[in-house]
Amino acid sequence: MEWKEEGDKRPLSQRPEWSDVTPVPQDDGPNPVVPIAYKDDFTETMDYFRAVYFADERSLRSLHVTAEAILMNAGNYTVWHFRRLILEALNADLHEELDFIKKVANGNPKNYQIWHHRRWVAEKLGTDATSEELDFTKKILSLDAKNYHAWSHRQWVLQELGGWEDELDYCKQLLEDDIFNNSAWNQRYFVITKSPFLGGLEAMRESEVNYTVGAIIAKPENESPWRYLRGLYKDDTQSWVNDPQVSSVCLKVLSAKRSTVFALSTLLDLLCHGFQPSQDFINAVDALKTPDLDLSDSNLATAVCSVLGRMDPMRVNYWTWRKNKLPAQTA
Partner 1 sequence: MGGKIGELEAEKHVRYILLVEKRKDDFESVVTEHLRMNGAYWGLTTLDLLGKLEIVDQDEVVSWVMECQHESGGFGGNIGHDPHIVHTLSAVQVLALFDKLNVLDIDKIANYIAGLQNVDGSFSGDMWGEIDTRFSYIAICCLSLLQCLDKINVEKAVNYIMSCKNLDGGFGCTPGAESHAGQIFCCVGALALTGSLHHVDKDLLGWWLCERQVKSGGLNGRPEKLPDVCYSWWVLSSLIMIDRAHWIDKDKLIKFIIDCQDRENGGISDRPDDAVDVFHTYFGVAGLSLLEYPEVKAVDPAYALPVHVVNRIFFSR
Catalytic positions, please? 110
Question: If we measure between CA atoms, which residue out of 115, 103, 99 comes closest to residue 148?
Answer: 115
Backbone torsions φ then ψ of 108, nearest 5 degrees: -140, 55
Residue 110 as a binder of partner 1 (CB under 8 A): the answer is no
Query: Which is nearer to partner 1, 1 or 33 (by Cβ)?
Result: 33
Residue 6 as a binder of partner 1 (CB under 8 A): the answer is no
Contact pattern for partner 1 over residues 178 through 197, marking x by CB under 8 A = --xxxx--xx-xx--xx---
Query: Taking the complex as a whole, how short is the minimal distance between the CB of residue 13 and partner 1, in angstroms?
Result: 18
Among 58, 61, 102, 227, binds partner 1 (CB under 8 A): 227
- How far is residue 260's CA from residue 262's CA, in Å, rounded to a whole number? 6
CA distances from 10 to 5, 21, 57 (A): 12, 16, 22
Q: Is 239 exposed, middle or buried (0-12, 13-18, 19+ CB in 10 A)?
A: middle
Residue 34 as a binder of partner 1 (CB under 8 A): the answer is yes
Give the count of residues interacting with partner 1 (CB under 8 A). Answer: 59
Query: Which is nearer to partner 1, 193 or 255 (by Cβ)?
Result: 193
- The residue type of 66 is T
Query: Taking the complex as a whole, how short is the minimal distance between the CB of residue 5 and partner 1, in angstroms?
Result: 23
Residue 223 as a binder of partner 1 (CB under 8 A): the answer is yes
Among 70, 97, 119, 171, binds partner 1 (CB under 8 A): 119
Residue 228 as a binder of partner 1 (CB under 8 A): the answer is yes
Secondary structure of residue 284 in the 3-state scheme: helix
Count CA atoms within 13 Å of residue 223 on its CB side. Answer: 4
DSSP 129: G
Among 37, 165, 328, 331, binds partner 1 (CB under 8 A): 37
Secondary structure of residue 74 in the 3-state scheme: coil
- How far is residue 25's CA from residue 254's CA, in Å, rounded to a whole number? 68
Residues 6+ positions from 297 with CB-CB distance below 8 Å: none
Q: Helix 148-161 crosses helix 112-125 at what angle (to 10 degrees)?
A: 10
Query: Taking the complex as a whole, how short is the minimal distance between the CB of residue 297 and partner 1, in angstroms?
Result: 27
Query: Which is nearer to partner 1, 84 or 103 (by Cβ)?
Result: 84
Among 1, 10, 33, 291, binds partner 1 (CB under 8 A): 33
Among 4, 15, 39, 172, binds partner 1 (CB under 8 A): 39
- How far is residue 282's CA from residue 330's CA, in Å, rounded to a whole number? 13
Secondary structure of residue 291 in the 3-state scheme: coil
Among 76, 237, 239, 330, binds partner 1 (CB under 8 A): 76
Residue 106 as a binder of partner 1 (CB under 8 A): the answer is no
Terminus-to-terminus CA distance in the chain, angstroms?
Answer: 72
Query: Taking the complex as a whole, how short is the minimal distance between the CB of residue 134 and partner 1, in angstroms?
Result: 16
Angle at 182 between CA 181 and CA 187, to 5 degrees: 105
Positions 140 through 159 that interact with partner 1 (CB under 8 A): 146, 148, 151-152, 155-156
Query: Taking the complex as a whole, how short is the minimal distance between the CB of residue 195 and partner 1, in angstroms?
Result: 11
Residue 237 as a binder of partner 1 (CB under 8 A): the answer is no
Question: If we measure between CA atoms, which residue out of 230, 220, 302 comes closest to residue 268?
Answer: 302
Residues 6+ positions from 199 with CB-CB distance below 8 Å: none
Query: Taking the complex as a whole, how short is the minimal distance between the CB of residue 228 and partner 1, in angstroms?
Result: 7
- By the criterion CB under 8 A, which residues form the site for partner 1? 26-39, 42-43, 50, 54, 72-73, 75-78, 81, 84, 112, 116, 119-120, 146, 148, 151-152, 155-156, 180-183, 186-187, 189-190, 193-194, 223-224, 227-228, 230-231, 234, 313-315, 317-318, 321
